[in-house]
Structure 1
């Protein structure tokens, strides 16, 4: 006889125990007759799933780990494990509460189904809602912070107008004093000139009288010498002084207006586990032995700059006019030639994944978007050197004057100059006039420049105030420190390529030396890191890029 038909004859409804079963509830794992199906479904608090018995899902009984030829069709409540009949009768489970595996499965299934229901109907939708809210906030972020920047610009314009008005008033007062001074001196000059004219006439008359020997004229002469012995008053005018007050930066900041601190709060949902407050990125320790994980052959004669597009794709430029996008297997993915045909001096990838390159010869900074080249900045009197993209999507550019005597770092938003950094608080140049100055913005918004000509890494804060200079580790007894490429990572480390010593110096954000990366590098030049803090190093004369894991 067919086993199923035999089971259908033998098995009865689990509820009424009298009628042959016809259906099965997969949710509750019980068998039902036609009459009892309606009763069972009347409990609307549970999402029952009743199917015909022949279409039910078969139960997979586990094999007993102690008795391989038996199935676990019982459940030990004390040990909380499925057991077979032999186990139940053994001394190991003597005195334990034993239940039917189907009853236990029904209870467990009920618990699992409740968990699933809660996840599907309550928890997961909340997470989706939160993700949507965060995405909306990210979309609004640019607009909101743009408004703050606009307010700052407007406040700056107001202060500029007030200062200009004060300066113009002082200049007007100075001009008025100058005119009064000159008028007084002119009046004094006129008085003296009149006396001189009279003296000349008297002296001429005396000469005529003496020459004539005329008794009448001589006897009638009246001396006026006593009148002129008293000299005219001499006017002395003191030039006024302008007592310039020392600018109090704190008061100036207060006049400008304060920016309220960024408030980050974590709201705890009453049905969720409390989440931890937003914290700093996790600390990633430096490896004792950094290692090269990939090497890319770029095909240049000499390789200069490298910039990460992703973890496995990098842009490169070298001693010709072609910029190459390569993967870790050295496969050429894209190549773009400069608009002018000149070799690019440096490259950088923006937050949007577009490529920026420097054309030193024609004084331009160019953006490549969708393989289309757009010149965004053309300089006059200055030549651009090196470039980096910042967290706020600005560009920082090093440049040197045409006469080769001055150097500075300029911040651009689009094609608009926002900041120029050139001198320290004492008016001394921050940077040498040398051409090679790779740079990077650190996570704390410091601006770090590798000034090769003076063999130093120069770090200023966001406002352009000098923080420190790093001139190499004091214990260096080999060739002198020769910094070229420079980059920063998620831990605010500063990494710079020491070209002559064939290694990378790692500093903390305050300029303290941490350690070297050697990895058998040869003439390291350009540097960049990807989002996972893998370091990419371009070797100038081997024209290879090494990917290094160092934290």
Structure 2
């Protein structure tokens, strides 16, 4: 049943305020009774669209034009950065200007607001709830710890008999004083956290209210506040007092012992919250019509497999060698690390903390480099790891093949297996046998794989459910010199990465170009150069600059495409 026809709260006419609403003006917007319709439309300075209330349209409430009072602003002039009506659009003032629909801007902004609401509700709120629980648990444990301390003092007093009664009493009073100090400090800290909890709930409620609102300016004027809540409160670190007994009976006070003072310190980053970059609402960046080649870095590999960004100024590379190399953008070699097994790595990645991870299929291991020391994180049996990426939550996604040629993806938290992705909802393999190549996590937490054997990009959601497959775009097919030897022309995905717009980029080694898709798998355009040859591993830095590893030239090309 149409919810607009359901019996809910009785609405009255906005003009007379006494009669039940029967009509509705879509353009104003306003609830009207039949008697007030004539009065309403008598205002000829504005357009009207009066319909029966049940047939009203759900429309945005556009602001009135400051230049043409009878019109509503439905567009935004990008050149003047103002809202304009249809008459403004065709006026000489805005001739040859660029416009965007306010509807589109509102939809985009509400997507950001929805992401903020989701982040506040699903991440920040629950993390603060965990902190509240932790502090309440500490409060519950205070009496037990101090009772234990009191028992130690009492035991020492009993052993030394009545001459120490005064000393015992003094120590107990100190304990009670510190107990109160400890409790007061924790209670104050708890109240501060609960106040922050209430602020988050209020922000969630505010975002939900704006998401339901049709008013343009409410959405556009909303200021994103998630950064305010990103920094969690400081954590109080308590060190319980310790009773130290003394068996020297020469002096009563020294013989009995003493209690160390209560220690309360503040640890600025004691609480941590892992927040996926998918929650961030980035500004819209248009794709360049002509991508620009920024720099060329020669890595001196005879075959170059992977490139990954350590920062916007430094890149790790690996190729047909046991040595992994770190370069700056001027092409200077900054660091070299040899694999633990002395065998070439298959793929590399950089964790959120900046550590290098590499995959060794021959040793069946995934390893991490910390302070030049190589630590084995994962060791497999019956399977070989091939490619790896670090997720926004700090986990590792690893592609692997079994000895009998099955393929799957496994998500690891440290050395612990959290999730396996191998089959679709019908029990069929998601990935081709033994050919799966590079992997990347998108901002919306989709898992994107360049499946070489299937000649497809395979994308599943965070739960491992298939979202779509991309099998190339017809206009990419080219007749190249090496067609006879390499089956040139067919789509062959190699490396894969994603950017701040949740766009998916994959290298097409057969056609010497990069495909750009939106997050739903729709083809957008290519990145190609006359001298781009056999692109393989790719990555994007924080500024959305693209780095392309050429398989045979051993060069890394930095390309600006947005």
Q: How does 1:100-499 map to 2 (within 5 A)?
A: 144=127, 263=204, 276-278=223-225, 280-404=281-405, 406-478=406-478, 479-499=489-509
Aligned partner of residue 263 in structure 1, secondary structure:
helix
CA distance in 2, matches of 1:491, 1:303: 27
Distance in 1 of aligned mates of 2:202 and 2:414: 27
1:205 is matched with: none
| Alignment TM-score, normalising by the size of structure 1 | 0.51
Question: What is the aligned length?
Answer: 296
* Kept in 1: contact 2:407–2:436 (CA 8 A): no
Tell me the residue number matched to 1:154. Answer: none
Give a deviation string over 1:409-435, Cα, whole Å, max 9, x none.
Answer: 100001100000000000000001123
> What SS does structure 2 have at the residue aligned with 1:348?
strand
2:544 corresponds to which of 530, 533, 545: 533
Report the CA distance between 1:277 and its aligned residue: 3.2
The question of 1:501 aligning with 2:448 is answered no
1:512 aligns with 2:522: yes
Residues 351-383 of structure 1: per-residue CA shift (max 9 Å, x gap): 101000000101000000111100010001110
SS in 2 for 1:410: strand
- The answer on whether the counterparts of 1:459 and 1:466 sit within 8 Å (CA) in structure 2 is yes
Q: CA deviation at 1:276?
A: 1.6
Q: Please list the CA deviations of residues 124-180 of structure 1 after superposition, one character each: whole Å capped at 9, or x if unmatched.
A: xxxxxxxxxxxxx9xx979938959x99xxxxxxxxxxxxxxxxxxxxxxxxxxxxx
Aligned partners of 1:261, 1:390: CA distance in 2, in Å? 30
Quote the Cα distance in structure 2 between the aligned partners of 1:429 and 1:538. Answer: 30
Report the CA distance shift for 1:480/1:329 in structure 2 as closer, same or farther (over 3 A): same
Question: Given the superposition, is the C-alpha separation of residues 145 and 545 from structure 1 closer, same or farther in structure 2, using an over 3 Å criterion?
Answer: farther
Asked if structure 1 preserves the Cα contact closer than 8 Å seen for 2:308 and 2:317, the reply is yes
Match of 2:554 among 534, 543, 547: 543
Aligned pair in 2 of structure 1 residues 473, 338: CA closer, same or farther (>3 Å)? same
Q: CA deviation at 1:403?
A: 1.6
**1:265 and 1:414, CA in 2 relative to 1: closer, same or farther beyond 3 A?**
farther
- The answer (yes or no) to whether the contact 2:546–2:559 under 8 Å persists in 1 is yes
Residues 183-227 of structure 1, C-alpha deviations (whole Å, 9 max, x = no match): xxxxxxxxxxxxxxxxxxxxxxxxxxxxxxxxxxxxxxxxxxxxx
Shift of 1:454: 0.9
Helix, strand or coil at the partner of 2:412: strand
Larger radius of gyration: 1
SS of corresponding position for 2:369: strand
**CA separation in 2, counterparts of 1:400 and 1:536?**
27
Which whole-Å CA distance do the structure 2 matches of 1:394 and 1:261 have between them? 32
Q: Distance in 1 between matches of 2:129 and 2:507?
A: 36
| Secondary structure at 2:315 match in 1 | strand
Give the Cα–Cα distance (whole angstroms) in 2 for the partners of residues 411 and 301 of structure 1: 32
Residues 262-292 of structure 1: CA distance to partner in whole angstroms, max 9, x if unpaired? 93868xxxxxxx8723582110000000011
Q: Please give the alpha-carbon distance, in whole angstroms, between the structure 2 residues aligned to 1:507 and 1:316.
A: 25
CA shift, 1:458, in A, is: 0.2
1:330 deviation in Å?
A: 1.2
Change (3 A) 1:264 1:333: farther
Distance in 1, Cα, partners of 2:129 & 2:547? 33
**2 CA distance for matches of 1:298 and 1:545?**
7
Question: Tell me, what secondary structure is at the counterpart of 2:294?
Answer: strand
Deviations 1:473-519 (A, max 9, x none): 13344300000000000000000000010000000000000000002
Write out the 4+ residue segments of structure 1 that deviate beyond 2 Å after TM superposition. Answer: 140-148, 260-266, 277-280, 474-478
Please, which runs of 5 or more residues in structure 1 have no aligned partner? 1-136, 152-259, 267-273
Structure-2 separation of matches of 1:366 and 1:288: 40
3-state SS of paired residue (1:283)? coil
CA 1:541–1:142 in 2, change beyond 3 Å: closer, same or farther?
farther
